[in-house]
Amino acid sequence: MNSDLFKNAIALTGGISTGKSTVCNLFKLHGFLTIDADEIAHKLLDENSHQIAIMFGEEYVENGKVLRKKLGPIIFSNEENKLKLEALLHPLIKDEIIEESKLYEAENKPYFIDIPLFFEKMHYPISKSLVIYTPKDIQVQRLMSRDKIDEAEALLKISNQMDIEEKKNLATLVIDNSLNLKNLQREVERILEEIT
């Protein structure tokens, strides 16, 4: 794939519940363009709900919408199901990201692509990466309170991704989101100074 396609792109990644969406929103407030792979995935899930019903069963689809909360447990706890879903969605997500990137590259300034599994899947020739970092214990607490789940389920979801410390070591840039929102805003401003 042509790496010129992502010349100005910065892959924004991290772990589940480390604050990627919050950071994306802060970048948007500063006038930066962002592409959200999860948002694209949710849209594509519903567009392919018929396919999901065939693959996993009618009970996971209602009125043309995929019941993500119901589907989640059979995806997170079963490698085969996870790979089946990824085989369907990842090529479609990639096509959409490429189309949006073409528009953003025309502006010739840095923009962010929020790709949760950037390091795990390595499907994108993007040379710069930004990891939103939170120590694992805080990540577990935030995920439990966000999704109203117990510690075992939170740890299962987190275990489906590369360890956050490993991601931090692979990153070109790191934002530390282990404190509060005020600190996070300062971290975002620091990164914007670095890239502009």
**Pairing relation of β-strands 111-114 and 34-36?**
parallel
Phi, psi (degrees; rounded to nearest 5) at 74: -80, -15
pTM beyond 0.85, yes or no: yes
Q: What is the pLDDT of residue 4?
A: 78
Query: What number is the average pLDDT over the span 46-70?
Result: 95
Average of pLDDT values for 55-81? 93
Looking at residue 45, its pLDDT comes to 95
Say whether pLDDT at 8 is over 60.
yes
Confidence check: pLDDT of 146 > 90: yes
What pLDDT score does 109 carry?
93
Distance from C-alpha of 19 to C-alpha of 183, rounded to nearest angstrom: 13
Give the per-residue pLDDT at 184.
97
Q: How confident is the model at residue 2 (pLDDT cuts 50, 70, 90)?
A: low
Strands annotated E in the chain: 9-14, 34-36, 61-62, 65-66, 111-114, 128-133, 173-176
121: pLDDT confidence band, cut at 50, 70 and 90?
Answer: confident
Q: Which residue would you say has higher pLDDT here, 123 or 144?
A: 144
What is the separation of C-alpha 6 from the centre of its chain, rounded to a whole number of angstroms?
17
Give, as one character, the DSSP assignment of residue 123. Answer: -
The chain-wide mean pLDDT, for the chain, equals 93
Distance CA 115, CA 105 (A): 17
Report d(CA 136, CA 60) in Å as an integer: 31
The whole-number average pLDDT for the span 87-112 is 94
Torsion 3-133-139-148 (CA) sign: negative
